[in-house]
Amino acid sequence: MVVGLIAADLRYNNLGRTRAVLDTLVAPIIWVADIPARLGQWQNTHIRTRARLVEDSARLQRENLLLQGRSLQMASLQAENTRLRGLLNSTTMLRSDVLVAELIGVSPDPMRHQLVLNKGASDGVYVGQPLIDADGLMGQVVEVGEVTSRVLLLTDLTHSVPVQVNRNGVRAIAEGTGSLDALEVQHISATTDIREGDLLVSSGLGGRFPVGYPIAEVVLVQRDPGQPFARVLARPSAALNRSRHVLLVFVKAAEDAAPASQVP
């Protein structure tokens, strides 16, 4: 019976509904288990010295000024981008909607890089939805319960993401290694132009992740003349083990809306 269950879940993937129901059932346990972490958070935000607050406020003001300055040209650049894309006959890029979610659980198994979020089917979360934080792509939703959802991180052993090098557009696949600070870029032939320090962004080729989110920075390129492929390691841009507030990106909604909002 158990073997049957394992086979059904692993091979045929048809226990989605059962999983959703079970997820909803265990949601309270996860919620309670998160209380210590939330207490720490509360203490962090409510019990601070005045000096820390002043310092924080100053830093945030500086950052805000910087970001505002950078976004001044955003509108005109976006218009120009749309015009140029129109000239090239390609579809317009759409800004996608996001939903802020909070982390309420981490997988207890160190080999399984999964997170539990406090948003579920009732908030419109769907399986396959990409997840980002302030610095880059984090992973994708793999299970949706009624009020929680489970996310597979980029670095999980079973996860791969299509990427391209931001500098020259070389395409590749980045696979998780099971370690939180490394992705392995697979099948880069020994002569490909890829260097340490290159930024990898999502290429959007799988149709699952939106284009252009930063994914990782190449930290190691090893070219062995005896091997057909180079060994390339990259460090994820997102703060995979530090972010508590994350963003769920609604790609599907944006795609559905695309035909209506396209300007000729």
Partner 1 sequence: MNANNALVFSVMAGSFLLAALLAVVQIPEWLQWARPEWVALTLLYWCIALPHRIGIFTALLLGLLIDALEGAVLGQNAFSLTVLALCALLLYQRLRVFSLWQQCAVVFVVIGLHQLVGQWVQNLEGSGARSLLFLLPAVSSALLWPMMLQVLRSVRRYYRIS
Binding site for partner 1 (CB under 8 A): 1-3, 5-6, 8-10, 15, 18-19, 22-23, 25-26, 29-30, 32-34, 36-37, 105-112, 114, 116, 142-143, 150, 156-158, 178, 241
Q: How far is the CB of 43 from partner 1 (least distance, A)?
A: 15
Q: Which is nearer to partner 1, 15 or 220 (CB)?
A: 15
Instruction: Considering the complex, state which of residue 40 and residue 212 has its C-beta at the smaller distance from partner 1.
Output: 40
* Beta carbon of residue 13, minimum distance to partner 1 (angstroms, whole number): 11
Instruction: Select 223 or 244, whichever has its Cβ closest to partner 1.
Output: 244
Instruction: Give the C-alpha separation, 112 to 79, whole Å.
Output: 43
CB nearer partner 1, residue 97 or residue 146: 146
Which has the closest alpha carbon to 186: 254, 139, 145, 233? 233
Q: Report the nearest approach of partner 1 to the CB of residue 126 (Å).
A: 17
Closest distance of CB 195 from partner 1, Å: 28
CB within 8 A of 80, min separation 6: which ones? none
Measured from the CB atom, is 26 or 257 closer to partner 1? 26
> Facing residues of 180 across strands?
none
Query: Are 105 and 115 in contact, with CB atoms under 8 Å apart?
Result: yes
- DSSP annotation of 63 reads H
CB 165 to partner 1: min, Å: 27
Other residues' Cβ atoms within 10 Å of the Cβ of residue 175: 19
Residue 218: closest CA among 192, 182, 189, 242 = 182
